[in-house]
Structure 1
Amino acid sequence: MNKTKKIKNYLAIILMSAVLESDVSAQESNEAVENQVRALLAQMTLEEKVGQMTQIDFSVISVADGQDAENPIDPAKLEEALMQYHVGSILNAPSTPNNKAQPIGKWRRLTQQIRDAAARTRLKIPVIYGIDAIHGATYTQNAVLFPQAISMAATFNPELSFREGEITAREVKASGLDWNFAPVMDIGRQPLWPRLWETYGEDVHLASAMGSAYIRGHQGDDIAAADKAPTCLKHYVGYSYPLNGKDRTPAWIGERALREWFLPPFEAGVLAGAPTVMVNSAEVDGVPGHANRHYLNDILRGEMGFDGFTVSDWEDIIRLYSRDKLADSPREAIKIAVMAGVDMSMVPFDYSFYYLLLDLAQSGEVPLARIDEAVARILRVKYRSGLFERREPALPEAGYFATAEAAAVNRQAAREAIVLAKNDHRLLPLSKRASVLVTGPAANLLSVMNGGWTITWQGNKEEFYPQDKPTLLDAIRQKTEGNVTYVGGKQFSDEINIEQAVSEARRHDIVVLALGEKTYTETEGNIDSLQLDPVQLQLARAIFHTGKPVVLVTFGGRPRIITEIANQAQAVVLGFLPGMEGGAAMADILFGDVNPSGKLPISYPRDSNDITPYDHKPIEAYESNQYRPLYPFGHGLSYTTFETNGLRLAQPAIKTGENLQLSVNVKNTGNLAGKETVMVYLHDVAASVTRPVKQLKAFKKVELQPGEQRTLEFELTPRDLSFIGLEMKRVLEPGEFIVTVGSETASFHVLN
């Protein structure tokens, strides 16, 4: 044996030993946790167990009107919550419904007071404090707030999603908080839905990749580490596809569609290690999420192997009675939800759940075994998260909160999230000596770039936003030496003087027209049409009438219909919700300091009733039917050009169960350095169930210098080639498949 082989064998042995040692260590750790859970559970009274299943809003332990108090906690109420009701979890910022971000020092004092009180209880079981940190530590002042999920998806960069998870966990923990209600793994295939922007878009593979990367960054290899925290998959399952587009309204999803599109991202999240799941607030096929035993037990636990705990969404258990009329009383509603598989109730304003579940358990209507099962799941997550060992905030503020490194990652994310959709005659980038009129309701607000769950629930309190972050208008003024004039209001709804805007447009070289949506989330964001407000259309038409070149910039969480305007604008830049660095990032792109690389994670509709996803069925593009979005999924221009060529499959045929290797060249054929996302699509030519015309199965984002070429390698697995068959099981059928990368295609066969 030569020296090289000896070294390789030696390294292989070391690697195998390390893997085995890691597996043994993980097994021992799991066994230790299980022993701790069993021992603690054996000591608990029924009352203490039911308390662990109870989650209350911060307002329950708050002094009256305590939002701005130096210490909003009422010590007597906190003592009551933990000593008398044995509450297992608290959520939210002081104080609902006007909750807003708090200074980090205040958060640390509040959560420490809760930890100290829990340490005085009989069994010293820690409270797990939950917060919606969906694009950074949203309820901590001056936290690093990233692009929202729809914009993170537009980066097509899982590494950025991983870094976002890392930074968010660090800042949540530095705030003294324990548990993050993120990421949203719902698929965004209904553009009207007001939570579309909380998703990673319409594609299963993209959402799975971005969400899994976020979870891995947020949790690391050990969620008990000081700078890591548990995540929560939302909102299991089908919540994102309401028939009428309104939040918390029914979805009608067949089981095959459920398994093909809606379940896989959650399965990916479970495999990535997320230990908690929040339940769908609405209903699917007539069964509310909180009553759906098939989804919560047979699929989530039986098929996916999820072993963490489930938590209800806001007040949703009692709504089985008050709203859904599924139960004939609040007591019956709790029985239905708990027996269906809900482990923790976000009550959130009182102790009704505690009293009623205690009565149900004492009467035997909810078996003690079910109570023990739910509590064991909750305790298991608390042990794994290191809460039992933590007696103070896990991280100091210095070095872990709002660091320069985190801000740099956020700026990169915002830059890569912005999509250049149109650039006729290379109008962009703009000259830094050009005179620019900036107008439109989205031009001078930070809120429109951040959306809901930003500082406040709806994200609409502009006065609370940091003054050191530039709006689009501010950033343009900072970027250019030319004359910049603004015509607009101070609030989104302020009337804009169209006559003045037209007059100023004639005096300037370029018009930057910033349109879009005000901020919203959940039912507050329900709309009846994707059409833009008429007043925005009126402004746009008047500006176009001047004949001046127009750059249309849009911000907002949904693809509002801009077809008429986009057709007349020389350039279109889609911002969606790029976060606190969005203004600076947009200006970087407009003036050419950054080369745009964002790609659409959704199909941008041409009209309100022209909603067809890219992975549509053949019948949807047959005869008079068409897939004709304004901009297709994956669309996004650059200031340079790229070419893919040389698509090669390793073999023309594979056997069932084998992987397929393929490679493709990508070259920067332009004059500027840039980033390109290479996407691999697959089509099953003929199958026993109709297959989409194409589905994204892999992608890689690369940065290339002018003239540089790289060869990218991909691997397709049997899972990638499979689908949900006639028997509602995942199958891989022999036959022909077509791979598409850019303009090239190649076919191969799967053999028995």
Structure 2
Amino acid sequence: MKNRTIFILLMTMLISVVGNAQNKDVEAYRFVDHLLKKMSLKEKVGQMTQISIEAFLKTDEKGNVINPHELDLNKLAVAIKEYKVGSILNVGGTAQTRENWQHLITQIQEMALSQHLKIPMLYGIDAIHGNGYTLGSILFPQEIALAASFNPLLAKEASQVSAYETRASFIPWVFSPVLGIGRQPLWPRVWETFGEDPLVVSEMGTAMIDGFQGNDMANKYNVAACMKHYMGYSMPLSGHDRTPAWIPERELREYFLPPFKAAVDAGALTVMINSAELNGVPVHADKHVVTDILKGELGFKGFAVSDWQDIQYLYLRHHVAVDDKDAVRIAINAGIDMSMVPLDYTFSQDLLTLVKEGKVSMNRINDAVRRILYVKYKLGLFQQPLGNAGDYPLFGGKQHQELNYSIASECITLLKNNAHILPLKRGVKILVTGPCANTMRSLDGGWSRLWQGTNSDETEKDKHTILEAMQQTFGHENITYAPGVTFDKEEDISDAVAKAKDADVIVLCVGESSYTENPGNINDLTISAPQIALAKALSKTGKPIVMVLTEGRPRVVSAIEPFTSAVLDAFYLGNQGGDIIANTLIGKINPSGKMPYTYPRYTNSLMNYYRKYTEDTTFDTAAGYHPQWEFGYGLSYTTFKYSNLQLNSDKLASNKPIKVSVDVSNTGDREGKESVLMYVSDLVASITPEVKRLRGFEKIDLKPGETQTIHFIITKDKLSFINNDLKRVTEPGKFIVRIADLKAEFSY
């Protein structure tokens, strides 16, 4: 009776929440539709126009943007008063202080609100791993590092702080999270993804959206999230940014679409469209992908914004349009609602003409503007367009910094630890070397104060590089430093070798500097030649080498790894990265990360873990699946034992899920966290099945000697796949569930 009462109460609360949400939507659309009737065509087109802030910033006599930024109010007036522009984005240079952002946004909003309809401006910013374009904000681990934690709660907590600190700059909209599947390791934006697995991307992405938007986007501590980049952008055939992808629709629906569906279901209300082309069609021109699937099938209620200049690129790059006007016609009719123009008014001019000529319908215009105004309303901008500077006392402060440290400590991943060389003992003499050792760029990555993160060593000089953190942690007297090489040049390897002779251990810091998008394109995934040369020279000293990787993508290190005694992968850990690495090396942190992608051993062997049987070593013994480190791999300073895998039934029915349980024990002598990963293998299917597929994961914390029973549920939907008819189906057959080294069979 008691349980029945609790159930009724819960259902009543759920119905109440759903009812309130529906009522708020009715209220929002009533307001939007009333406003829409008052708007002229020019005002509607203006709402669909997004201009970058550098178009309005004052410059010096040489044309350089003045810093701190100042608005040229005459130029701003052209945008708002003449062209009725409804959205502005970007930073227009380097990061600004929070106070200056507040001043700039206030000026912009006041001018927008001075117009007769008083429609507030929607300002958007790239907040990829924190509010990176505001000085003093927290820079969290990048998405690929967060994925290594296998802990969605951390993604939510990080985005909650990011939302708080972005709203502290009076900015209500962030271009995040990235929901692409990072399957192509050459791609220079892999580190902006949550890795190669659709389930991990979906779970981490929706957690991030929940953190950004909360239960009420209008709350002064929440922002609107933006799903990026819909879809297929993350797997270009060449590996180079914004180059063609060839992904059959069955594959799109199986792997690339689910994270976006999950995000739409989670309430994401803005989406940025893939800049590249998919199967020969630029996505900005693809009505099937943007309108039929996203807005139709998924029921997406928000608006779709182009990426930077991508409507113009339909004729400048892709050659599917004859000129700008033709490009605008194609993109708007395909379903793009807002154009990131970004620096002129050609879009507005051409769209006005197209509507007057009947080449873009008023229905399409009204639909786009309705979606944009709906988001502005849900953000509370009509009710509270300006922020209150005093509402954000935690900005960049101790509480947020401590949370960042806690989050980053679950991301660092131990990949090798021969003879338990780690953790290192206090008093040990250490040579710190390599191009990543003394730079914040290799900890923060791109989107850090600048687009490419090139000024991190200056803007983040109050934080610790790996070298500085090692000096503080192990004592200056125990640390010797010799860079040895840069990323692209051998400088003084002999100095590093000479200093290694007096060291007990070498900490070799290799990987990449900061980059993103096109400037990050490479032609060879192998780690750079100078870094290999340094490692080989140091190996001849006979001293044990601990390799620390700070990188955005899995650079092939098979030429180095055999010389190492231990390997730590730190990805891009953010501003706390140096301290996290040093404290892991000394044992203060017990590493618990696991690989969020398959780490390749060879440059031409780039298979994902959910490979097909014909790609496996059992079929292809010469060159089959043989990665450096497999997806989900990661070591600890303690040991875990899995036992007692049980299924409550060996038969799965449509209305009767299988309950899976497994015991995980900490059999070591120190506390540790472990990500428990459940894979399922479909043995026979009409579409060639994968060797295995992740179907559930959970992060736990165990004290020495402690055992915890973990539970998973397997439903028929979790075993489904997209068939040749593009339908999601679950076919009868036999399946194997695998957790660690345990397995059990069941049938459906």
TM-score range, shorter chain: over 0.9
Paired letter, 2:474? T
21, 24, 37: which one pairs with 2:19?
24
> 2:492 & 2:437 partners in 1: Cα distance?
14
8 A Cα contact 2:654 2:715, kept in partner = no
The 8 Å contact of residues 488 and 529 in structure 2, kept in 1 or not, is answered as no
Letter matched to residue 335 of structure 2: G
Out of 251, 269, 272, the residue aligned to residue 266 of structure 2 is 272
Residue 109 (structure 1) aligns with = 103
The whole-number CA distance in structure 1 between the counterparts of 2:577 and 2:546 is 16
Give 5+ residue unaligned stretches, structure 1.
Answer: none
Judge conservation of contact 2:434–2:486 (CA < 8 Å) in 1.
no
Matched-pair contact (CA < 8 Å) for 1:160–1:409: no
Aligned counterparts of 1:71 and 1:739: Cα–Cα separation in 2: 57
5 Å-filtered alignment, 1:168-567, equals 168-393=162-387, 396=390, 398-481=392-475, 483-488=478-483, 495-567=490-562
- Provide the C-alpha distance between the structure 2 equivalents of 1:80 and 1:381, rounded to a whole number of angstroms: 24
Note closer, same or farther for the CA distance 1:494–1:530 as it changes in structure 2 (3 Å cut). closer
2:620 pairs, out of 612, 623, 634, with 623
Aligned partner (choices 576, 587, 609) of residue 581 of structure 1: 576
Q: Which amino acid aligns with 2:291?
A: N
Deviation at 1:464, TM superposition (A): 3.1
Q: Confirm or deny that 1:11 pairs with 2:12.
A: no
Give the Cα–Cα distance (whole angstroms) in 2 for the partners of residues 266 and 617 of structure 1: 24
Distance in 1 between residues matched to 2:547 and 2:485, nearest whole Å = 20
Verify the 8 A CA contact 1:597 1:674 in the aligned structure 2: yes
Give the SS at the match of 2:267. coil
- Write the letter of the residue equivalent to 2:228: K
Deviation at 1:462, TM superposition (A): 3.5
In 1: Cα distance, 2:301 partner to 2:602 partner: 43
Asked if structure 2 preserves the Cα contact closer than 8 Å seen for 1:227 and 1:395, the reply is no
Structural mapping, 1:557-706, within 5 Å: 557-621=552-616, 622-624=619-621, 625-706=623-704
Which of 741, 744, 747 does residue 745 from structure 2 map onto?
747
Shift of 1:655: 1.6
Amino acid corresponding to residue 520 of structure 1 in structure 2: Y
- Supply the distance in 2 between the matched residues of 1:8 and 1:257 (Cα, whole angstroms): 44
SS across alignment from 1:277: strand
Deviation at 1:575, TM superposition (A): 1.2
Task: Tell me what 1:64 maps to.
Answer: 59
Contact 1:656/1:732 (CA < 8 Å) preserved in 2? no
* SS class of match (1:339): helix
Corresponding letter in the other structure for 1:639: Y
Residue-by-residue CA offset, 1:418-460 (whole Å, 9 max, x unaligned): 1110000111000110011101000000111111100100001
2:32 & 2:219 partners in 1: Cα distance? 20
Instruction: Tell me how large the CA RMSD over aligned residues is.
Output: 1.4
Aligned to 2:95, the other structure's residue is in SS state: coil
User: Given residue 623 of structure 1, which amino acid in structure 2 is its aligned partner?
Assistant: D
Bigger shift: residues 58-67 or 131-140: 58-67
Indicate the percent of aligned positions where both proteins have the same amino acid.
Answer: 45
- The one-character-per-residue Cα deviations of 1:463-513 (angstroms, maximum 9, x if unpaired) are 432222100000000001452111128975675311111010001111111
User: Per-residue deviation at 1:226?
Assistant: 1.0
CA distance in 2, matches of 1:734, 1:626: 29
Aligned residue in 2 for 1:731 = 729
- 8 Å CA contact 2:434, 2:485 repeated in 1: no
1:11-67 CA deviation, whole Å, 9 max, x = no partner?
333333222222221111110001011000000000000000000000111122564
- Provide the C-alpha distance between the structure 2 equivalents of 1:428 and 1:175, rounded to a whole number of angstroms: 42
Mapped to 2, the partners of 1:564 and 1:489 lie a distance apart of 18
* Residue pair 1:137, 1:144 contacting (<8 A) in 2 also: yes
Letter in 2 for 1:551: V
Is contact 1:605-1:630 (8 Å) kept?
Answer: yes
Matched, 1:154 2:148: yes
Question: Which residue of the partner structure matches residue 166 of structure 1?
Answer: 160
SS of the counterpart of 2:559?
helix
Residues 16 and 395 of structure 1: is their aligned pair in 2 closer, same or farther, counting only changes over 3 Å? farther
The corresponding residue for 1:82 is 80
Moved more, 430-439 or 710-719: 710-719
TM-superposed deviation, 1:8: 4.0
1:152–1:417: 8 Å Cα contact kept in structure 2? yes
Check whether the contact 1:237–1:263 (CA below 8 A) recurs between aligned residues: yes
Q: Secondary structure at the match of 1:144?
A: coil
Q: Give CA-to-partner distance per residue, 1:563-619, whole Å, 9 cap, x none.
A: 121111001111111111000000110000010001000010001111111000111
Task: Report the 3-state secondary structure (helix = DSSP H, G, I; strand = E; otherwise coil) of the residue aligned with 2:736.
Answer: strand
SS of 1:79's equivalent? helix
| 1:681-738 Cα shifts (integer Å, max 9, x gaps) | 0111111111110000100110101110010111122221100112110001111111
Contact 2:487 2:528 in 1 (8 A): no
State which drifts further: 11-20 or 156-165: 11-20
Where 1:681 maps in the other structure, the secondary structure is strand
Asked whether the equivalents of residues 688 and 725 of structure 1 are also in contact (C-alpha less than 8 Å), the reply is yes
Structure 1 residue 36 and structure 2 residue 34: aligned? Answer: no
- The code of the aligned residue for 1:246 comes to H
Q: CA deviation at 1:199?
A: 0.4
Q: Secondary structure at the match of 2:689?
A: coil
**Is the contact between residue 300 and residue 306 of structure 1 (CA under 8 Å) also seen in structure 2?**
yes
The Cα of 1:399 is off from its aligned counterpart by: 2.4
Q: Is the 8 A contact 1:227 1:394 kept in 2?
A: no
SS in structure 2 opposite 1:143?
coil
- Contact 1:148–1:579 (CA under 8 A) maintained in structure 2: yes
Contact 2:721/2:729 (CA < 8 Å) preserved in 1?
A: yes
| Aligned residue-pair number | 741
Report the TM-score when normalising by structure 1: 0.97
AA matched with 1:516:
G
Aligned equivalents of 2:497 and 2:94: distance in 1? Answer: 39
Quick one: structure 1 residues 70 and 250, their matched pair in 2 at CA, closer, same or farther if it must change by over 3 Å? closer
Question: CA deviation digits over 1:264-316, x for unaligned, max 9?
Answer: 11111111111001000000100001001000011111111111100000000
TM-superposed deviation, 1:531: 1.1
How far residue 408 of structure 1 moved from its aligned partner, in angstroms, is 1.4
Task: Write the distance in 1 (CA, Å) between the matches of 2:398 and 2:456.
Answer: 24
Determine helix, strand or coil for the equivalent of 2:176. coil
What are the Cα deviations for residues 192-237 of structure 1, in whole angstroms up to 9, with x where unaligned?
0000100000001111111110101111111111111100000101
Partner Cα separation in structure 1 for residue 113 and residue 394 of structure 2:
26
**1:127-169 C-alpha deviation (Å, 9 max, x unpaired):** 1000000100010001011000000000111110010111110
